Amino acid sequence: WRATFSVIQKETGFVNGLITVLHDITEQEKIEMERRDFVSNVSHELRTPLTTMRSYLEALSDGAINEPELGKQFLSVAQTETERMIRLVTDLLQLSRMDSREYELNTDFVDFVKFFNRIIDRFEMAKSKEITFIRELPVTPLYVEIDTDKVTQVIDNIISNAQKYSPDGGSIRFTVTANDGELLVEIKDTGMGIPKEQVDRIFDRFYRVDRARARSMGGTGLGLAISREMIIAHNGKIWAESIEGKGTSIFFTLPYGLVDEEDEWD
Ligand code: ADP
């Protein structure tokens, strides 16, 4: 809904009426609004690193280039900003491919437990913070049909967020349960959490709870939006639960154990 207010005012200046018109925003209008927001967000996200680079390059050509230490430092800023833009454009291209359905899932049958363990191992090896990893994974194999590159990207993204938004001394708990027809994966951290009214928005494109903080950590604000598209492409669901100051759980499901009997006997 969108409201338009008209004030009815007499020549004397006294307000003696207020008309409120509520418009139903049609689906089409909503899509159009989202598109405009998206274009404006993209422009803003690209403009920021570009203006930073411009000032540093200007300073370099104004003489900083002749001071070895300063010159090196300014070049490194320009490099960091270039890398941020490359990440952003890569993410945008990926989203646009998913939007236009210009992609195929390259699926394989894999044991999800083994697959998940390998990803967690990789993070555990490269850990930069004091964060304890707790695995609550089944001991028996659980076979799923997934595009391993895409699901790896989803899990990578969730684990890096869990690390990014957690202090030293925290923990990340990994849980997998097989229910009827689906696999439920939970990645639970003991980090800063997300305010209640914003939890569902973190999967929106460019949505960040704390823009400045997230940017300083190098994020593009597109990671979870891409993850959501990828999970939907697998016919799964993804959502979050969080308590501010206590921690966040990201859940996703994948179809599991649904043997298509017709295929089987064809
Ligand atoms: P970013 O690149 O900013 O991390 P994401 O799409 O991955 O973008 O996440 C969107 C936002 O959701 C983040 O900026 C952060 O505010 C919030 N968020 C995601 N995961 C967590 C988490 N585990 N704990 C707290 N906040 C999180």
CA atoms of 69 and 80, how far apart (whole Å): 17
DSSP string, 52-115: HHHHHHHHHHTTGGGSHHHHHHHHHHHHHHHHHHHHHHHHHHHHHHHHTT------EEEEHHHH
> Which residue's CA is minimally distant from atom 21 of ligand 1?
161
CA of 92 to the centre of ligand 1 (A): 17
Answer for the pair 245, 193: CB distance below 8 angstroms, yes or no: yes
DSSP state for residue 25 in the 8-state scheme:
P
From the CA of 210, give the closest atom in ligand 1: 16
Tens-level pLDDT at each residue, the chain (266 residues): 666 666 666 666 677 777 777 767 788 888 888 889 899 999 999 999 999 999 999 999 999 999 999 999 999 999 999 999 999 999 999 999 888 877 789 999 999 999 999 999 999 999 888 999 999 999 999 999 999 999 999 999 999 999 999 999 999 999 999 988 999 999 999 999 999 999 999 999 999 998 777 777 778 899 999 999 999 999 999 999 999 999 999 999 999 986 555 554 54
CA of 27 to the centre of ligand 1 (A): 28
For position 71, what pLDDT does the model report? 95
Rounded to two decimals, the ipTM of the complex is 0.98
CB-based pocket (< 6 A), ligand 1: 157, 161-162, 165, 189, 191-194, 202, 207-210, 214, 219-225, 248
CA of 79 to the centre of ligand 1 (A): 24
